[in-house]
């Protein structure tokens, strides 16, 4: 079955997927998801394998970023004081 142009344009961009994946990861790290959010995330993930990958990648990235804690406060000039 040939895809129509409209269907091709409808294909969610990987950048858009990354946006949403990052939001989910930030939310999960801030607090436990509500039951409703939990099923919303499941449904979102199930719809496209790329979303599952983006979510896993976003999570890995967040863990990687968290390592910065070892640098300590002194590494960063205070953005408030600039």
Write out the residues near another protein by the rule CB under 8 A.
14-15, 17-19, 22-23, 25-27, 29-31, 41-42, 45-46, 49-73, 75-77, 79-80, 82
* Kind and range of the H or E run holding 64: helix 49-66
Based on CB atoms, which residue is closest to another protein, 6 or 47?
Answer: 47
Q: Tell me the angle at which helices 14-30 and 49-66 cross, rounded to the nearest 10 degrees.
A: 50
Structure tokens at 12: 């969610």
The least CB distance from residue 58 to another protein, in Å, is: 6
The least CB distance from residue 35 to another protein, in Å, is: 15
Structure tokens at 82: 């600039």
């Amino acid at each position: 079955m040939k895809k129509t142009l409209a269907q091709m344009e409808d294909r969610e961009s990987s950048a858009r997927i990354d946006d949403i994946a990052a939001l989910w990861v930030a939310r999960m790290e801030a607090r436990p998801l509500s039951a409703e959010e939990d099923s919303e995330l499941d449904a979102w993930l199930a719809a496209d394998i790329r979303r599952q990958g983006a979510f896993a990648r976003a999570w890995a990235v967040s863990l990687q970023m968290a390592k910065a804690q070892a640098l300590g406060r002194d590494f960063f000039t205070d953005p408030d004081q600039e």
